[in-house]
């Protein structure tokens, strides 16, 4: 297996793309082979993305009452959880949180709303006004995650100054029916295509530990490669009481790192960030995510769970002697 890893690494470093069958062959790496895979993924990341770390932050701008039944989500109306429920926050709150995110060193700030899609009247206008102010008053790059959108909405966001649209596919097409049955996978794929057609960058990834297998993680990565997404957030399940996956087993730290490395091999020149669930799932191996091929992470709180203090992440990066990318990089 070490020979296979080295051969694939050399080809990727030379600018080639590995085949689907070769990507699936990396699912079988175990034991000490994983360390070789992590080292190779780190080389690939350095070659194509560099060693600077990209930081992002989010605001849960509208929480709860989502009609979708995603098995992991604390905001689904199909679940009874302690997650907060509130309508879209005001413009001032969105802008002030962007300023705080910038102070914490983030280069990207995501405005995220619960629900299948955003209302195209007052809600969209409020978000667009906030984005224009963020552009004027900060140096941070605004992004939005407003669910399934059409071309007109994507264009309005682009004209307001949104640079990136975030819309996760969550998992592979083959496993998606086990996660969500209230909308079709193709609707999510079409949203990615619509955002790209409107000239937006697309940030699109998923969440691991839902019950999918390693091959289905690779299947997701291959779909993202086909869609030519610009950046990939990787999340790990943090089981929430009241959801369908409340009793799910967290995947192991080495499984998490394996998944990160697989994505780096398949998507060598893309920004790959490790976001929700890293504290609970990677535990003492959190800093290893950069060795395994990650090029970024989320700082601050997540949608319905708290992250660790930004200073702890900054200390981790100082200890690793890694520089943080600025907003313009």
Flag whether 143 is marked binding: yes
Nearest to 233 by CA among 224, 242, 246: 224
Tokens 């800093």 -> residue: 287
Cα separation values, 176 from 188, 208, 210, Å: 11, 12, 10
Q: Which fold has domain 50-320?
A: TIM Barrel (3.20.20)
Coil vs helix vs strand at 201: strand
DSSP, residue by residue, 3-18: HHHHHHHHHHHTT---
Flag whether 73 is marked binding: yes
Flag whether 275 is marked binding: no
> Which pair of structure tokens corresponds to residue 197?
């057609």
DSSP letter at 223?
H
Q: What pLDDT does 153 receive?
A: 97
Does residue 277 contact residue 304 with C-beta atoms inside 8 Å? no
Nearest to 325 by CA among 42, 44, 55, 46: 55
**Torsion (CA) 116, 119, 120, 126 in degrees, nearest 10:** -120
Give the domain ranges of the chain.
50-320
What span, in angstroms and rounded, lies between the C-alpha atoms of 147 and 145? 6
Cα separation values, 208 from 192, 212, 218, Å: 20, 7, 11
Q: What pLDDT does 60 receive?
A: 93
Q: What pLDDT does 3 receive?
A: 83
> Which pair of structure tokens corresponds to residue 185?
């996978």
Q: Report the predicted TM-score, pTM, of the whole model to 2 decimal places.
A: 0.95
Does residue 240 contact residue 199 with C-beta atoms inside 8 Å? no
What span, in angstroms and rounded, lies between the C-alpha atoms of 13 and 193? 28
What span, in angstroms and rounded, lies between the C-alpha atoms of 91 and 130? 5
Flag whether 256 is marked binding: no
Flag whether 203 is marked binding: yes
What span, in angstroms and rounded, lies between the C-alpha atoms of 223 and 25? 17
| DSSP H or E run through 231 | strand 231-236
Q: What pLDDT does 306 receive?
A: 65
Helix crossing, 151-160 with 185-197: angle to 10°? 40
Beta bridge partners of 141: 108
Tokens 């190779």 -> residue: 40
Task: Show pLDDT as tens, one digit a residue, over the chain (329 residues).
Answer: 788 999 999 999 999 999 999 999 999 999 999 999 999 999 999 999 999 999 999 999 998 889 999 998 998 889 988 888 999 999 999 999 999 999 988 999 999 999 999 877 999 999 999 999 999 999 999 999 999 999 999 999 999 999 999 999 999 999 999 999 999 999 999 999 999 999 999 999 999 999 999 999 999 999 999 999 999 999 999 988 899 999 888 799 999 999 999 999 999 999 999 999 999 999 999 999 999 999 999 987 666 666 788 889 999 999 999 999 875 55
Q: What pLDDT does 1 receive?
A: 78
């Amino acid at each position: 297996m070490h020979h296979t890893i080295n051969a694939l690494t050399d080809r990727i470093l030379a600018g080639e793309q590995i085949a689907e069958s070769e990507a699936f062959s990396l699912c079988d790496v175990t034991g000490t082979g994983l360390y070789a895979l992590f080292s190779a993924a780190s080389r690939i990341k350095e070659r194509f993305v560099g060693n600077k770390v990209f930081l992002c932050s989010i605001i849960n701008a509208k929480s709860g009452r989502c009609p979708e039944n995603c098995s992991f989500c604390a905001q689904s109306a199909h679940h009874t959880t302690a997650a907060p429920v509130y309508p879209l926050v005001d413009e001032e709150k969105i802008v002030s949180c962007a300023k705080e995110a910038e102070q914490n060193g983030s280069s990207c700030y995501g405005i995220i709303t619960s629900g299948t899609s955003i209302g195209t009247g007052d809600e969209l206008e409020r978000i667009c006004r906030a984005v224009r102010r963020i552009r004027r008053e900060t140096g941070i790059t605004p992004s939005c995650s407003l669910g399934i959108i059409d071309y007109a909405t994507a264009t309005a966001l682009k004209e307001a100054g949104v640079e990136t649209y975030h819309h996760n596919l969550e998992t592979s097409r083959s496993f998606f029916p086990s996660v969500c049955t209230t909308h079709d996978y193709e609707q999510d794929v079409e949203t990615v295509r619509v955002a790209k057609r409107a000239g937006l960058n697309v940030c699109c990834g998923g969440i691991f530990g839902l019950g999918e297998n390693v091959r289905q993680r690779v299947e997701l990565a291959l779909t993202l490669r086909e869609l030519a997404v610009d950046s990939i957030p990787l999340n790990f399940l943090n089981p929430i009481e009241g959801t369908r996956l409340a009793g799910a087993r967290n995947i192991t730290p080495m499984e998490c790192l394996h998944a990160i490395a697989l994505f780096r091999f398949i998507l060598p020149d893309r920004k790959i960030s490790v976001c929700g669930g890293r504290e609970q799932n990677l535990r003492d191996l959190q800093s290893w995510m950069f060795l395994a091929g990650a090029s970024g992470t989320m700082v601050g709180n997540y949608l319905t769970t708290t992250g660790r203090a930004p200073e702890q992440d900054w200390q981790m990066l100082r200890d690793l002697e890694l520089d943080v990318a600025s907003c313009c990089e």
